[in-house]
Amino acid sequence: MGLFTFKGGVHPYEGKELSAEKPVEAIKPGKELVYLLSQHIGAPAKPIVAKGDRVLAGQKIAEAGGFVSAPVHASVSGTVSKIEKRKNATGGYVDAIVVENDGLYESVSFEEADPDKLSREEILNRIREGGVVGMGGAGFPTAVKLSPKDPSVVDHVLVNGSECEPYLTSDYRCMLECPEKIVGGLEIILKLFKPECRGIICIEDNKPKAIEIMRKAVSGKSRMSVAVMKTKYPEGAERCLINAVTGRYVNSRMLPADAGCVVDNIDTVIAVYDAVKYGRPVIDRVFTVSGDAPVNPRNFRVPVGMNYAEIIDAEGGFKSAPEKVISGGPMMGFALYDLDIPVTKTSGAITAFLKDEVSRSKPSACINCGRCVKGCPARLLPCKLADFAEHSDAKSFEEYYGLECVNCGSCSYSCPAKRPLAAEINMMRQTVLANKRKNK
């Protein structure tokens, strides 16, 4: 059988071998934990605790601030010391609840349930109350995603285990270490859709062990299968994944459900399982520390709210001062100027590099080589779009489908003239979208 794939994409150095074979380790957070109230797409959560309150691990400390929103739970026991603005990985300041860790790790008791006996509404409610959001990075509230306008059109639930972002190994470790939870979570999600709806676990072919283990785990499950994908960035981008596995197309104005698909990340499916079966909310996540700067790259199960600097300390520190530290992977992650950032539900990794390739490469003239065109999964002409962006030509930018860009960065990666194509296109895209909202 041929491998599933899409048109376009690039092959950056994968770097997975640094941390792939390191089992997930537990880690103890420090004195102060910071719970950002915007860890998801949608309205920020609203605090339901006040300064001085004692909280327990697993206790809800902020409730959903709207329909598209998610509650936030404490990951340790302690006292609420402050409610103030704190910096997130993208450099913005957002409201946060700061909890002083008392080191006792007292937990609320979670209410177990048998998924088979729960109704559709009860399942969705447990997912909502568990604060489950898309943990691959986007942070879209999962309960909202799993209740599309017309659930009967959904015939594919894709579990995204492609992990195409270089250096990241958290999904890989999950597939190796708890395949039963992935299968269990997928089983729960499939209950929400019609009986013909199939669950497909999508894995890139550079992870043969994970493919083998997941194949074994789904054997005997008539509604589930494993799809082996060609290793290529950005195979795990939602639109690319849907196209690769089902041959269907989703554009910027469509939701995956419009193409009969729901895509959930591996970690998200596990969170669904924990939330529905054990009533356990999202208070920690699997996290990779990698790159050429960390002394001992590996995988942790980190509590939400933990400080990045403490994770690096626990990992063993840096060999020498890195030039670049990224929250996430090198293709789509956010560069940090310091490590004073709390872990959120959507942060999957810190990658740190001794040398910063980007600041060393000087952009030069476009030679029209077409590498960006070949690499673009959205089938755009990135070099032309970047020209339009430079000239603030919104009309041409839209005519050339600039709004369809998924900001995967393949164009910048492949450009021999080292032009920051993705950055220029994304900036223009944001401007055009903002103007559209204004003119509405």
Partner 1 sequence: MNEKYQVSVSPHVRDSISTRKIMLFVIIALLPACIVGVVNFGPYALLILCVSVASSVAAEYCYERALKKPVTTGDLSAVVTGLLIGMNMPPQIPWWIPVIGSVFAIVVVKQVFGGLGQNFMNPALGARCFLLISFSSEMTNYAAGRGLTSLVTKVASTTDALSGATPLAYLKTGAHFDLGALFLGNVQGVIGETSAIALLAGGIFLLVMQIIDWKIPVIYLGSFAVLVLITAAARGYSNPLEFTAEELCAGGIMLGAWFMATDYVTSPITPKGQVIYAVFLGVMTWLYRMIGNSSEGVSYAIILANCIVPLIERYTRPRAFGIRKDKRQKEAGKA
Does residue number 393 form part of the binding site for partner 1 (CB under 8 A)? no
Does residue number 133 form part of the binding site for partner 1 (CB under 8 A)? no
DSSP result, 218-281: HTT-TTEEEEEE---BTTTSHHHHHHHHH-----TT--GGGGTEEEEEHHHHHHHHIIIII---
Site for partner 1 (CB under 8 A): which residue of 188, 263, 336, 343? 336
Let me know if 191 is exposed, middle or buried by CB neighbors in 10 A (0-12, 13-18, 19+): middle
Backbone angles phi and psi of 172, in degrees to 5 = -60, -45
| Smallest distance from partner 1 to CB 302, Å | 18
| Smallest distance from partner 1 to CB 236, Å | 15
Alpha-carbon gap, residue 4 to 296, rounded angstroms: 34
Segment 75 to 94, residues that bind partner 1, using CB under 8 A: 91
CA nearest to 144, candidates 156, 132, 161 = 132
Does residue number 397 form part of the binding site for partner 1 (CB under 8 A)? no
Does residue number 394 form part of the binding site for partner 1 (CB under 8 A)? no
Alpha-carbon gap, residue 234 to 249, rounded angstroms: 15
| Smallest distance from partner 1 to CB 202, Å | 18
Chain centroid, CA 209 distance in Å? 22
Alpha-carbon gap, residue 204 to 226, rounded angstroms: 10
Select 73 or 371, whichever has its Cβ closest to partner 1: 371
Partner residues linked to 298 by β-bridges: 289
For residue 134, give every residue at least 6 positions away whose Cβ sits within 8 Å of its Cβ, in sequence order, or none: 40, 41, 140, 141, 142, 145, 264, 265, 268, 346
Site for partner 1 (CB under 8 A): which residue of 99, 262, 350, 380? 380
Contact 35, 96 (CB under 8 A): yes
Select 119 or 320, whichever has its Cβ closest to partner 1: 320
Does residue number 409 form part of the binding site for partner 1 (CB under 8 A)? yes
Total residues in contact with partner 1, by rule CB under 8 A: 68
Site for partner 1 (CB under 8 A): which residue of 158, 331, 386, 428? 331
Segment 91 to 110, residues that bind partner 1, using CB under 8 A: 91
Does residue number 309 form part of the binding site for partner 1 (CB under 8 A)? yes
Does residue number 13 form part of the binding site for partner 1 (CB under 8 A)? yes
Site for partner 1 (CB under 8 A): which residue of 86, 134, 377, 397? 377
Contact 302, 344 (CB under 8 A): no
| Per-position x/- string for 248-287, each x denoting binding to partner 1 as judged by CB under 8 A, each - no binding | -xxxx-x---------------------------------
For residue 321, give every residue at least 6 positions away whose Cβ sits within 8 Å of its Cβ, in sequence order, or none: none
User: What length is written for the chain?
Assistant: 440
Segment 149 to 188, residues that bind partner 1, using CB under 8 A: 166
Does residue number 342 form part of the binding site for partner 1 (CB under 8 A)? no
Select 176 or 415, whichever has its Cβ closest to partner 1: 415
Q: Three-state SS for 288? A: strand
CA nearest to 322, candidates 330, 163, 24, 31 = 330
Stretch that binds partner 1, among 150-158, 215-223, 278-286, 420-428 (CB under 8 A): 420-428
Element (H, E) at 353: strand 349-353
Select 49 or 415, whichever has its Cβ closest to partner 1: 415
Does residue number 321 form part of the binding site for partner 1 (CB under 8 A)? yes
The residue ranges that bind partner 1 (CB under 8 A) are 10, 12-13, 91, 166, 239, 243, 249-252, 254, 309, 321-326, 330-340, 353, 356-359, 361, 364-371, 373, 377-381, 383-384, 399-401, 404, 409, 412-418, 420, 422-423, 426
